Amino acid sequence: MKMKGLSSKQSGNLRFLSKLIGRKQKSNFRLVDFKNKQHKTDFLLRQTKCNLEILPQGVMVVGNFTENDTIIPILKNEIESITIIRGKEIVDTFYLSPMFILSKLGIPNRISRHLKVYPSEYKISETRINIKCEEYQLKLITSGNRFAKLLRNFKRAGYTDMLELVERPKLNLLQYNRAIDI
């Protein structure tokens, strides 16, 4: 199995690392866009479910892309930048809901969201990951709730100097409801 952009020795090393990880999990990411260095989009790879393995040696995007390619390996020294864009956070609780009470007590939304009564009380849109390399550019999306874990994994693997973070504004509808009551 030949992997995109690597010699057989490098692909063998990354294949060995992926076997060490070895856990079978559901796909948490979606490859939205893949452009090569001529800025041509590969339409076969678009909208493919995949996983992102973050290792100190590089990043692997694992999925069923084509019959021959199941891994897109990116070595750490090839990565120019990694941009993580956090989704927009919307808080719309009602008076005396558990999430409302915890928010008024100063508990962060990342904790109080677990006690919401209705799914519409706390929403966060998708997190986007842009990985720019010498050879190609990848754009992935995942659930908005994965932002903190994703950021922690990149920092733990040693990508702190390559990270660019963008946070979308938070919208707390509770403040607007109180303005209407006055």
Domain ranges of the chain: 26-86+125-163, 89-119
What pLDDT, on a 0 to 100 scale, did the predictor assign at position 180? 44
CATH number of 26-86+125-163: 2.30.29.30
Computed over every residue of the chain, the mean pLDDT equals 79
Across the range 7-34, mean pLDDT stands at 63
Q: Note the pLDDT tens digit of each residue in 80-96.
A: 999 999 988 888 888 88
What pLDDT, on a 0 to 100 scale, did the predictor assign at position 71? 83
> Is the model's pLDDT at 66 over the cut of 90?
no
**CA atoms of 135 and 72, how far apart (whole Å):** 12
Pick from 50, 45, 60: nearest CA to 27: 50
Q: Note the pLDDT tens digit of each residue in 113-136.
A: 888 888 888 888 899 999 998 888
Pick from 97, 135, 131: nearest CA to 116: 97
